[in-house]
Amino acid sequence: MNDAIKFSSTVSAMTRGGILVVTIDNAPVNATSADVRSGLEKALVHAEATANVAGVVITGAGKTFIGGADIREFGKPAIGPTLPAVIEKIEKLSKPVVAALNGAALGGGLEVALACHYRVASSTAQVGLPEVKLGIVPGAGGTQRLPRLIGIPAALDLITSGRSAKTDEALSLGIIDEIAKADLVETAISAAQKLSGKQLRRTGELSIATNEAAEIERAAARILGRARGQKAPAEAVRLITSSNRPLTEGLADERATFLTLRDSREAAALRYVFFAERESSRVEGLEGIEPRPVKTIGICGLGLMGSGIAIVALAAGYTVIGLDQTAEAAEKGRERIVGLLERNLASGRLDQNGFEAQKARLSVTASDADLAPCDLVIEAVFDDLAVKIDLFRRLDKVIRPGAVLATNTSYLNPDEIAAATAYPERVLGMHFFSPAHVMRLLEIVRCARTAPDVLATGLAVAKKLRKLPVVAGVTEGFIGNRIFSAYRREAEFLLEDGALPHEIDAALEDYGFPMGLFAVYDMAGLEIAWARRKRQAAARDPATRYVGIADTLCEMGRFGQKAGRGWYAYPDGKRTIDPDVTAIIEAARTQKGITPRAFPKSEIQERMLKAMAAEGEALLAEGIAARPSDIDLVMINGYGFPAHKGGPMFART
């Protein structure tokens, strides 16, 4: 061993056993910033020129190998050397270069590793090329080297999904060569020593299997079908499927495509979303506030919502006590939860040990007193104020004062629920979206009297549950349903003004929503919103514009897909335009004296966006949402707004 050499402020090295061990230390994720690239290049030059260096190991400090290119550098003037240039130097080095993957090797990080001559990983590492999630394609050889290493079909899957692979999968695919059984760097050093003087396996020189044409064609068609108009997955498919050509040609094409996409609106939107997700749990006033410790979570109401919450809580390692009204209902809830666990076991998402452990952490009861050990209780009972107040008053008697109480209400006023309890400062809203074990979004509702450490607890639990928390103030429907109401209202104005449901739906789907609004309504059922409208009817200002078409449909029993008809008809279960609905809409227009006109798709899209953004502005002005990006996250993750458009607030800019 000898003294450390500093190649740049983020790259240093030590020579161990004749091998130059280069460490990248660029917190938080060792992104390949200009300083890292320049340090790496100098290290490679040093290794090539130094006689007593027989090889190189590249590793990362901390828990990440390299998290990828520095996304914050995108859009700024380029500073050399470029990552592709550094990577080319790695691959061409005359001495072996071994990647020691101490953690995530993502994007440009995996591209560095792919150019190395051998890859060793610690068991906790993961690899992936998530660029498509940022609206770009890999720009430093990923689309050309990965197919050479693992074949085109597997590369298509990884690159176009952007997903990460854990080490077992990475090993079986051939992305890595070895999982270190002992010390990672020691293992990598001995691999480099063994490779010294031998013929090096350069990924760029490998040939690609050419006997998979039909499989590739099927996979490519599937990916393009799912892309919903996004450019990056389509470009990734093109680059990967054409990778069987000279490396330099493929690399040049990839680089040019990367640069064009990087500067696109789509990529700007997805970068904005990336940072928005990391920003959302930073809440003013919570700096330095410690969340209360939570180990046991009580869940009241074991219907679909409660069971979904139970599943994520169990998966996150919490002990769960489920409460329902009767022993039978509680047992039914337990069966539903265990059924979901069994599904996870069958699909391989859970192994037998994990399944047993999660099942053992679940108990159910019909007795309030059994919730006494809970640190947090989440209620997911019927959305009725009296029912919830009664429950929270009962909980007050059995739960210790330091425990937190969360309501999952969608529309009720949680301040009213809190005010009815003995300790309103421990109450907050945790508004899960259905199905709770699938949807990432979680609105954390700060009530008038919620204590800061209670809010911090909600955020900490959300993170542990692997949810995306967004903090909202109290208003009817919080952030999401307030904007959704404005969106729905505008769609109904458009109906009266001349557009038909299928035209509005087509415009929304064309914009990137997975499904149009009226199709969604039919799928979810129209009756719940109808009941709410009836409750609100008395308070409605007669001077505001109100569209009664949905009420007419409900009065006719057209409750949606389950009823066989709603905004559309469903002969043989297939959604079709219904002339009866068109007639109802026309009658409504005539009654109001509206002369209908045609709406082009772009105008429908503009009006819908404008309505959402205006409601967003109102939420900001009222202090319900802290920042525009929080609103965008809610709409993307809870309501199908296309992420590659950035959300309604981003889209208006």
CB-nearer residue toward ligand 3H9: 41 or 131: 131
Tell me how far, at minimum, the Cβ of 272 lies from ligand 3H9, in Å: 12
> Residues in contact with ligand 3H9, total (CB under 6 A)?
25
Q: Which stretch binds ligand 3H9 (CB under 6 A): 39-47, 54-62, 99-107, 318-326?
A: 99-107
Q: How far is the CB of 267 from ligand 3H9 (least distance, A)?
A: 10
Binding segment for ligand 3H9 (CB under 6 A), chosen from 67-75, 116-124, 232-240, 530-538, is 67-75
Binding segment (CB under 6 A) for ligand 3H9, from list 107-115, 195-203, 466-474, 610-618: 107-115
Burial state string for 327-363 with b = 16 or more CB within 10 A and e = fewer than 16: eebbbbbbebbbebbeebbeeeebeeeebeebeebbe
Distance from C-alpha of 297 to C-alpha of 457, rounded to nearest angstrom? 12
Q: Among 76, 198, 278, 400, which residue interacts with ligand 3H9 (rule: CB under 6 A)?
A: 278
Q: Which of 41, 88, 91, 131 is catalytic?
A: 131
Choose, by CB under 6 A, the member of 11, 22, 57, 106 that binds ligand 3H9: 106
CA distances in angstroms from 103 to 16, 63, 141, 191, 343, listed in the order given:
21, 5, 21, 19, 30
**Which one of 41, 70, 415, 578 is in contact with ligand 3H9 (CB under 6 A)?**
70
Q: Which one among 39, 68, 96, 424 touches ligand 3H9, defined by CB under 6 A?
A: 68
Q: Which of residues 120-149 bind ligand 3H9 (CB under 6 A)?
A: 130-131, 134, 138-140, 142
Q: Residue 28 CB, nearest distance to ligand 3H9 (Å)?
A: 4
Nearest distance, CB of residue 275 and ligand 3H9, angstroms:
6
Binding window for ligand 3H9 (CB under 6 A); candidates: 68-76, 202-210, 346-354, 475-483:
68-76
According to CB under 6 A, which one of 67, 147, 151, 424 is a site residue for ligand 3H9?
A: 67
Q: Does 469 bind ligand 3H9 (CB under 6 A)?
A: no
- 142 touches 121 (CB < 8 A): no
| Of 8 and 33, CB closest to ligand 3H9 | 33
| Residue 198 backbone phi and psi in degrees, to 5 | -95, 170
Cβ atoms within 10 Å, residue 317:
12
Closest approach, Cβ 544 to ligand 3H9, in A, equals 42
77 binds ligand 3H9 (CB under 6 A): no
Beta strand pairing status for 97-101 and 118-121? parallel
Q: In what order do the strands lie in the sheet with 97-101?
A: 5-6, 11-16, 19-24, 55-60, 97-101, 118-121, 178-179
Considering the complex, what minimum distance in angstroms separates the CB of residue 425 from ligand 3H9? 29
- Name the token pair of 66: 């390299």
- Of 88, 91, 111, 509, catalytic: 111
Candidates 13, 20, 24, 69; binder of ligand 3H9 (CB under 6 A) is 69
Q: How far is the CB of 69 from ligand 3H9 (least distance, A)?
A: 4
DSSP per-residue letters across 394-413: HHHHHS-TTSEEEE--SSS-
Query: In terms of DSSP bridges, do strands 362-365 and 427-432 run parallel, antiparallel, or are they unpaired?
Result: unpaired
Q: In the structure encoding, which two tokens stand for residue 3, read together? A: 């003294």
What distance in Å separates the CA atoms of residue 178 and residue 499, rounded to the nearest whole number?
A: 60
Of the listed pieces 106-114, 183-191, 243-251, 356-364, which binds ligand 3H9 according to CB under 6 A?
106-114
**Which one among 6, 72, 534, 592 touches ligand 3H9, defined by CB under 6 A?**
72
Nearer CB in complex with ligand 3H9: 88/496: 88
Q: Is 111 a catalytic residue?
A: yes
Rg (CA), the chain: 28
CB of 534 to ligand 3H9, least distance (A): 45
Taking CB under 6 A as the rule, which mask of x and - marks residues 233-272 in contact with ligand 3H9?
----------------------------------------
Stretch that binds ligand 3H9, among 104-112, 191-199, 539-547, 570-578 (CB under 6 A): 104-112
SS3 230: coil
d(CA 445, CA 387): 19
Kindly identify the residues of this chain, within the stretch 537-576, that bind ligand 3H9 according to CB under 6 A. none
The site map against ligand 3H9 for 20-59 (x = CB under 6 A) is --------xx-x----------------------------
- The Cα 636–Cα 570 span in angstroms is 28
Instruction: Yes or no: say if 469 and 605 are a contact pair by the CB < 8 Å rule.
Output: no
To which H or E segment does residue 612 belong? Answer: helix 601-621
Structure-token pair, residue 228: 């919903």
DSSP state of 563: G
Q: Which is nearer to ligand 3H9, 137 or 195 (CB)?
A: 137
Least spacing, CB of residue 420 vs ligand 3H9, in Å: 38
- What is the rounded CA–CA span in Å between residue 466 and residue 132? 22
Handedness of CA 590, 592, 593, 597 (dihedral sign): negative
Contact region with ligand 3H9 (CB under 6 A), list: 102-110, 370-378, 413-421, 570-578: 102-110
Q: How far is the CB of 137 from ligand 3H9 (least distance, A)?
A: 8
> In residues, how long is the chain?
653
**Residue 273, SS3?**
helix
Question: What whole-number distance in Å separates Cα of residue 437 and Cα of residue 307?
Answer: 8
* Least Å from the CB of residue 467 to ligand 3H9: 14
CB atoms near residue 608 (< 10 Å): 23
287 classed as catalytic: no
d(CA 261, CA 361): 47
- DSSP output for 427-493: EEEEEE-SSTTT--EEEEE--TT--HHHHHHHHHHHHHTT-EEEEE-SSTTHHHHHHHHHHHHHHHH
Between 281 and 481, name the residue whose CB sits nearer to ligand 3H9.
Answer: 281
Member of 12, 23, 26, 64 binding ligand 3H9 (CB under 6 A): 64
How close are the terminal C-alpha atoms of the chain, in Å? 56
Cβ-based nearer residue to ligand 3H9, 397 or 466:
466
Q: Which is nearer to ligand 3H9, 108 or 480 (CB)?
A: 108
With binding defined as CB under 6 A, does residue 451 bind ligand 3H9?
A: no
Q: How far is the CB of 277 from ligand 3H9 (least distance, A)?
A: 8
- Catalytic residue set: 111, 131
By the criterion CB under 6 A, which residues form the site for ligand 3H9?
28-29, 31, 64, 67-72, 83, 104, 106-108, 111, 130-131, 134, 138-140, 142, 275, 278
